[in-house]
């Protein structure tokens, strides 16, 4: 007898932005799974046309309130490469420091306030605070340390005002940065605490065979730069992105999906960065990863919380190192040298690879803009994940299946506001 | 007495303004103790039905569906507060109001027929009555805490409506326009950020939108005297609060 069941979630919670999810089940078989992004289109790539290059980092920051630095960095680097501008090593170090602040803030929020409640059976981080108050407070303190770092280097934590093409408007003083060290040291210890706490969670035993895609850099754990690499052998510069990846427009979504032309779905984000750059982590952080049960590659999306903790430890230490070795450059920014050309660049946003490409005229105005955010790259992999979960747990009650699907999405820390160009859960059983 | 019930609702936006609430790291658990967070999907999957005592609304109206949704939100709340430039002035996505939205959709999406969106991005006040507005792209979390505290205490919130220029003087900053010849929107921009940009040696770029009283034409003339082109002035007023009347008018004068 054909079974008809229907589950609907109007809006996926504890993710950034608006999306819905739909699972169609009939004859005891999952027919299809789809993640729809109903976040309304804001049309950035269209209204960037005709803007002056210098305006772009302020404008692209507004794509995402959670990871504005990622947008500022990918756009600034891409345009600088088109203009042949080369900010020196000191500017480079300061940008990496700012990016560390965004990782701390974003990962601390996701690990404890958005992700951990799924493992412990709470609706949210605030409800979790009643019985796990110490951990919630430690996460909030770590988050604050990241935000404070962003305020000092960037001017403010959401939509920083101090980033410009060529560098910064004002250089922080050594004293301003040194004052951050005690809180960063505590945030680092808090991240170790979160890692050990989360390592005792009951993780579903799944392994995904996705192709993992991330930047890889010859000497450092990648944030601002590197070649685009994958576990299946991709190794390209940012301007070769289109030769390997393809954006597709799917009917149920206001976002575009990205796939590897030759193979299909892939995953970007913490699991990919970690797998492709494990050897770039210092030995004592690799030891912490082993202690938490992680090998050099982690293919279990639920354990991404542990990888985020490892990355948080790393960026706290990296921020402290960058501050200790801070050498203010003579000028806060190198001069703007507009010329006609094309520039493409990718940086590692906390939730994954963020690729930008700009075509500019001789006066430095934007002719065309393309932005490929991490969540639209991850969407096909997330849907594959959902299909597997819905198939394996098809006999469970609707509310249990629904929570399992929601949690599977939250594993990936999707940023729907960014991807619009995502979630409500509907399970249709027929 | 029952705790006031709070909802946080999103329309077209970047999530940054509601993130400001989660960014109140030192105060978040206290706020969560003083109010019942009844509907805040970015923070919790527990969504309790209305009515609500206070609703924070982020984002602008860009779809027919959202135009209907904001009316339902208004019907369910006693006090409606818009948070940020999108909700109070239409936000940066209001740049579509000055262009052909169909052409813009075709520029971004391979299948424009999959996309349903309005020709304009409009503030919440264009659709329903708004009780309080917090400006900024993003809002200032100090202002958010002040407003929530005032509502809890039953007093009027202290939210200055003067310009960034006044905040800059109060902070004893050197005027970037007078001292360095840097074009600055501080004289016509609404207070709230604490004159952040001049403190970082750059001119204000107007992300809090127009102050209560503005003289944009005189400021534009001063920008020209400092060497700004008509196009520079047009763009400066046509960015994060493009659809707010004083900025819209001044941008048109230099279009």
Q: Which of B102, B124, B153 marks a domain boundary?
A: B153
Residue A292 and residue A280: Cα distance in Å, rounded?
Answer: 18
Checking if the pLDDT of A3 tops 70, the result is no
Residue A9's pLDDT is: 57
Edge-first strand listing for the sheet containing B5-10? B36-39, B5-10, B52-58, B77-83, B132-134
**Partner residues linked to A415 by β-bridges:** A16
Q: Quick one: pLDDT at residue A51? A: 97
Beta strand pairing status for A425-429 and A19-26? Answer: parallel
> Which helix or strand (DSSP H or E) is residue A14 part of?
none
The Cα–Cα gap between A332 and A127 comes to: 45
Residue B69 C-alpha from the chain's centroid: 19
CATH architecture of A44-377: Orthogonal Bundle (1.10)
Question: For residue B159, is it within any domain?
Answer: no
**Contact state of A14 with B44 under an 8 Å Cβ cutoff:** yes
Boundary residue ending a domain (B153, B185, B211):
B153
- Residue B77 domain boundaries: 5-153
Q: E strands, B107-155, where? A: 132-134
- Judge if the upstream peptide bond of residue A427 is cis by omega within 30 degrees of 0: no
Same domain? B25 vs B113: yes
* Interface test mutation site (partner B, options A47, A151, A186, max chain B beta carbons within 10 A): A47
Query: B123 with B205, same domain?
Result: no
Nearest-angstrom CA–CA distance, A172 and A155: 10
Taking the Cβ of residue A336 and every Cβ of chain B, the question of whether any pair is shorter than 8 Å is answered with: no
Measured between CB atoms, which of B16, B92, B114 is closest to A249? B114
Local structure of B8: helix, strand or coil: strand
Q: What value does the mean pLDDT take over residues B14-35? A: 93
Whether the CB-CB separation of A159 and B16 falls below 8 Å is answered with: yes
Contacts of B45 in chain A (CB under 8 A): 13-14, 123-124, 406
Tell whether B127 and B247 lie within a shared domain: no
Confidence of residue B74 (pLDDT cuts 50, 70, 90): very high
B19 and B120, same domain (yes or no): yes
Same domain, B176 and B106: no
Domain count, chain B: 2
Residue ranges per domain, chain A?
44-377
Q: Of B254, B252, B217, B216, which is closest to residue B97 (Cα–Cα)? A: B252
Lowest mean per-residue pLDDT among A208-217, A343-352, A411-420: A411-420
Closest C-alpha to A20, from A31, A33, A9: A9
CA B185 to chain A, closest CA, distance in angstroms equals 14
User: What pLDDT shows up at residue A249?
Assistant: 76
| Nearest by CB: A55 against B15, B18, B235 | B235
Dist CA A211 CA A230 (whole Å): 7
Section B207-217 average pLDDT: 96
Residue B158 lies in a domain: no
Is B106 in the same domain as B218? Answer: no
Calculate what percentage of chain A has a pLDDT beyond 70.
93
Q: Which residues make Cβ contacts (< 8 Å) with residue B113, sequence separation at least 6?
A: none
Nearest by CB to B45, from A41, A124, A248: name it: A124
CB proximity list for B77: less than 8 A, separation 6 or greater: B7, B50, B51, B52, B53, B54, B55
Residues A347/A99, Cβ–Cβ less than 8 Å? yes
Domain boundary among B104, B127, B153: B153
Test the A interface: residue of B39, B200, B203, B255 with most A CBs within 10 Å: B200
Task: Quote the CA–CA distance of A81 and A166 in Å, as a whole number.
Answer: 10
Digit-coded pLDDT (tens) for A189-201: 999 999 999 999 9
- If asked whether residues B92 and B135 sit together in one domain, one would say yes
CA-based angle B129:B133:B135, to the nearest 5?
145
> Does residue B20 sit in the same domain as residue B145?
yes
Over residues B165-195, the pLDDT tens digits come to: 999 999 999 999 999 999 999 999 999 999 9
Q: What pLDDT, in 10s, does the model give residues A87-109?
A: 999 999 999 999 999 999 999 99
Are residues B145 and B217 both part of a single domain?
A: no
pLDDT band at residue B59, thresholds of 50, 70 and 90? very high
For this complex, say whether ipTM is above 0.90.
yes
- Domain assignment present for residue B212? The answer is yes
Best of A110, A125, A126 to disrupt the B interface by mutation (most B CBs within 10 Å)?
A126
Q: Count the residues in chain A.
A: 430
pLDDT tens-digit readout, B75-111: 999 999 999 999 999 999 999 999 999 999 898 888 8
Please write the tens of the pLDDT for every residue from A122-174: 999 999 999 999 999 999 999 999 999 999 999 999 999 999 999 999 999 99
CB distance from A341 to chain B under 8 Å?
no
Q: Does B205 lie in the same domain as B129?
A: no
* B177 shares its domain with B53: no
Chain B hits for A162, Cβ within 8 Å: 200, 202
CATH of the domain at B15: 3.40.50.700
Q: Give domain status of residue B81, yes or no.
A: yes
Percent of chain B with pLDDT over 70: 100
Is B242 a member of any domain? yes
Say yes or no: B29 and B99 in one domain: yes
């Amino acid at each position: 007898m054909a079974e008809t069941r229907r589950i609907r979630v109007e809006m996926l919670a504890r993710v950034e932005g608006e999306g819905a999810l739909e699972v169609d089940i009939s004859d005891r078989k999952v027919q299809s799974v789809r993640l729809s992004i109903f976040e309304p289109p804001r049309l950035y790539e269209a209204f960037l046309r005709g803007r002056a290059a210098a305006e772009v980092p302020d404008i692209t920051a507004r794509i995402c309130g959670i990871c504005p630095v990622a947008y500022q960095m990918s756009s600034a680097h891409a345009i600088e490469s088109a203009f042949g501008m080369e900010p020196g090593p000191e500017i480079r170090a300061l940008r990496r420091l700012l990016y560390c602040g965004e990782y701390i803030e974003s990962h601390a929020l996701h690990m404890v306030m958005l992700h951990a409640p799924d493992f412990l059976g709470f609706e949210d981080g605030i409800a979790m605070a009643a019985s796990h108050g110490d951990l919630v407070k430690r996460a909030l303190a770590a988050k604050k340390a990241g935000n404070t770092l962003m305020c000092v280097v960037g001017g403010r934590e959401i939509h920083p005002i101090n980033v410009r093409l060529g560098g910064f408007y004002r250089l922080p003083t050594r004293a301003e940065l040194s004052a951050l060290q005690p809180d960063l040291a505590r945030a680092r210890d808090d991240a170790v605490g979160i890692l050990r706490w989360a390592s005792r969670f009951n993780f579903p035993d799944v392994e995904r065979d996705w192709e993992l895609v991330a930047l890889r850099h010859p000497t450092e754990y990648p944030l601002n730069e590197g070649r685009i690499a994958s576990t299946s052998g991709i190794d390209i510069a940012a301007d070769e992105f289109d030769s390997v990846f393809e954006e597709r427009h799917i009917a149920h979504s206001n976002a575009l999906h990205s796939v590897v032309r030759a193979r299909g779905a892939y995953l970007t984000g913490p699991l990919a960065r970690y797998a492709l750059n494990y050897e770039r982590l210092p030995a004592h952080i690799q030891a912490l990863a082993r202690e938490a049960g992680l090998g050099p590659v982690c293919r279990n999306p639920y354990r991404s919380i542990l990888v985020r903790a490892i990355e948080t430890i790393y960026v706290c230490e990296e921020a402290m190192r960058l501050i200790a070795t801070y050498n203010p450059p003579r000028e806060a920014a190198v001069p703007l040298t507009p010329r006609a050309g094309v520039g493409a660049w990718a940086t590692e946003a906390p939730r994954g690879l963020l690729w930008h490409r700009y075509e500019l005229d001789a006066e430095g105005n934007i002719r065309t803009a393309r932005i490929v955010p991490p969540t639209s790259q991850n969407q096909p992999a997330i849907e594959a994940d959902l299909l597997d979960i819905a198939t394996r747990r098809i006999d469970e009650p609707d509310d249990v299946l629904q929570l399992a699907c929601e949690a599977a999405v939250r594993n990936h820390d999707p940023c729907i506001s960014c991807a619009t160009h995502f979630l409500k859960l509907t399970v249709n059983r027929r | 007495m029952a705790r006031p019930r709070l909802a946080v609702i999103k329309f077209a936006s970047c999530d940054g303004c509601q993130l400001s609430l989660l960014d109140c790291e030192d105060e978040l658990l206290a706020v969560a103790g003083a109010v019942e967070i009844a509907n805040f999907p970015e923070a919790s999957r527990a969504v309790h039905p209305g009515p609500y005592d206070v609703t924070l609304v982020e984002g602008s109206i860009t779809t027919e569906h959202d135009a209907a949704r904001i009316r339902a939100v208004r019907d369910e709340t006693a006090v409606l507060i818009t948070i940020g430039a999108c909700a109070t002035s239409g936000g940066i996505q209001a740049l579509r109001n000055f262009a052909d939205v169909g052409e813009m959709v075709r520029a971004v999406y391979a299948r424009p027929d999959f996309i349903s969106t309005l020709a304009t991005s409009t503030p919440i006040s264009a659709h329903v009555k708004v009780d309080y507005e917090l400006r900024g792209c993003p809002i200032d979390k100090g202002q958010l805490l002040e407003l929530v505290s005032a509502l809890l205490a039953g007093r009027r919130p202290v939210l200055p409506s003067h310009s960034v220029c006044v905040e800059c003087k109060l902070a004893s900053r050197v005027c970037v326009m007078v001292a360095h010849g840097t074009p600055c929107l501080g004289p016509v921009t609404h207070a709230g950020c604490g004159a952040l940009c001049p403190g970082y040696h750059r001119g204000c770029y107007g992300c809090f939108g127009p102050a209560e009283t503005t003289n944009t034409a005189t400021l534009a003339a001063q920008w020209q005297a400092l060497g700004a082109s008509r196009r520079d002035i047009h763009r400066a007023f046509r960015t994060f609060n493009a659809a707010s009347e004083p900025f819209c008018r001044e941008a048109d004068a230099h279009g």
